[in-house]
Amino acid sequence: MAKRIVTAIDVGTTKVATIVASVKAKDNIEILGVGVAPSTGLHKGIVVNMDQAKQSIATSVREAQRISGMHIDSVYVGVTGRHITSVNNRGVVAIPRDDRLVRPQDLKRVLSAARGVPVPEGKQVLHAIPRSYALDGQEMVKQPVGMHGSRLDVETHIITASITSIQNLVKCIRSIGIDVEDLVLEPLASAEAVLTPEERETGVIMADIGGGTTDIAVFKSGSIYHTGVIPVAGYQVTSDLSIGLGLPFEIAEKMKKKYSSVAPELEIEETAQVGIENGHSASQRRLCQIISSRMEELLQLIITEMPTSDYRSLAPCGLVLTGGTSNLPGLTELAEALLRMPVRIGRPLSTGIYGISDILSDPAYATTLGLVLWQVEGKKGSEISLKRHGIRGAIANLFRRLFGA
């Protein structure tokens, strides 16, 4: 069976991860390489220093090329940041012909009607994802083309993003000689990697708690219902520790990863001290208290971000936590006790994915693998035109079309 090479870059706030996969079928994906580099030049998911971001991206790409033995020339890229907003909008059109048969052009018309939400200046539509259709009032139609009716409705999930944030990210990647094939909102990519079809159908909240942002996706009736980005994640936890315990940031980060737990029932002796290089030490009880209260706040923020206060009925399958910060021991128990709903940790690896893939069992790589799965599933890309302008762009696009290069 023919195989194709799929590549993506997850430009995170703490790490940049480039992934190269060889795809034979949806359940036959060989990971050829993942290149990871510490991220610099990003703040809360957006580029704030182009030169530094470029360096980090280039290092991660070089590493992925070295491990996979493949040359990377174009990639899918994840997008996140507090500039992201989302809304559900309906569109409606009449099917005017005598046969009342819904044709592909009717689908196009209704989708374009639904896309007509007011977009604030400086923003543009990143994704417009049809959730479900209705024909003559009959709801829950998944694929209306070929069916008959005189009125076609669609409900769409519209995601908007800041034009400049996206331009800066795309520019960083192109400046190292790699083309951006498409963009995917990061929570949608992470959800691809960690949610089951049953959870999406019944209703589930996914939160990817990374370094700079907590990316949220809510699924209901098999499709995306809500997306959001909270500009608080692991970085702020470390920052609080550093201030609260009077430790340098890097030491606080190491202590967090090595000694922390947020399990609600955990008993820690008052005198217990934990230490790390250069004689830095701290009370373990205090360390865990600071992290627990920050995580409780963050879990509340996730719930505040929900489109309804009745989040338990919205998501009977509960909350799936992923992203690097979901490695915190005791987080599942803390979240279950606080939110009184089922909670599990979403790990990106699943059956049918093999190769140099050990690293992908860490939830920090949910977005990275998700960007590959988004392409494998053949999901529609972003609404943003990434065509390159000018003579160089035209030549590059021509070569791409002719030779797939």
Ligand X SMILES: Nc1ncnc2c1ncn2[C@@H]1O[C@H](COP(=O)(O)OP(=O)(O)OP(=O)(O)O)[C@@H](O)[C@H]1O
Which residue ranges make up the site for ligand X (CB under 6 A)?
Answer: 12-15, 39, 45, 80, 210-213, 233-235, 238, 253, 256-257, 323-325, 327-328, 364
Nearer to ligand X, 166 or 328 (CB): 328
CB of 323 to Mg ion, least distance (A): 6
Helices vs. strands in the chain: H and E counts, helices first: 12, 19
- The answer to whether 187 contacts Mg ion (rule: CB under 5 A) is no
Nearest alpha-carbon partner for 130 in 216, 221, 193, 229: 221
DSSP-derived 3-state class of residue 251: helix
Q: How far is the CB of 241 from ligand X (least distance, A)?
A: 10
To Mg ion, the closest distance from the beta carbon of 188 in angstroms equals: 13
CA dist 281 and 284 (Å) reads 9
Q: Count residues contacting Mg ion (CB under 5 A)?
A: 3
Can residue 363 be called a binding residue for Mg ion (CB under 5 A)?
Answer: no
Nearer to ligand X, 6 or 328 (CB): 328
Looking at the Cβ atoms of 68 and 326, the one nearer to ligand X is 326
How many other β-carbons are positioned within 10 Å of the β-carbon of residue 331? 22
Residue 357 to residue 30: CA distance in whole angstroms: 8
Query: What is the smallest separation between the CB atom of 100 and ligand X, expressed in angstroms?
Result: 47
Q: Measured between alpha carbons, how far is residue 190 from residues 47, 107, 366, 371 in Å? A: 20, 28, 5, 8
Distance CA 336, CA 214 (A): 18
The residue among 293 and 397 lying less far from ligand X, judged by its C-beta, is: 293
Q: Which does 212 bind (CB under 5 to 8 A by kind): ligand X, Mg ion, none?
A: ligand X
Q: Please state the separation of Cα 55 from the chain's center in Å.
A: 22
Tokens 């009736």 belong to residue: 221
C-alpha distances in angstroms, 263 versus 227, 236, 259, 293, 333? Answer: 28, 19, 12, 11, 6
Which of 6, 7, 11, 12 is in the footprint of Mg ion by CB under 5 A? 12
Q: Which is nearer to ligand X, 91 or 212 (CB)?
A: 212
Q: Whose Cβ is closer to ligand X: residue 217's or residue 328's?
A: 328
Least CB distance to ligand X at residue 346 (A)? 12
From the list Mg ion, ligand X, none, pick the one residue 236 interacts with, judged by a Cβ distance below 5 to 8 Å according to partner type: none
The window from 9-17, 23-31, 230-238, 282-290 that contacts Mg ion (CB under 5 A) reads 9-17
C-alpha–C-alpha distance, residues 100 and 119, integer Å: 33
210 counts as binding Mg ion under rule CB under 5 A: yes
CB-based contact 303:182 (threshold 8 Å):
no
Residue numbers of the site for Mg ion (CB under 5 A)? 12, 210, 367
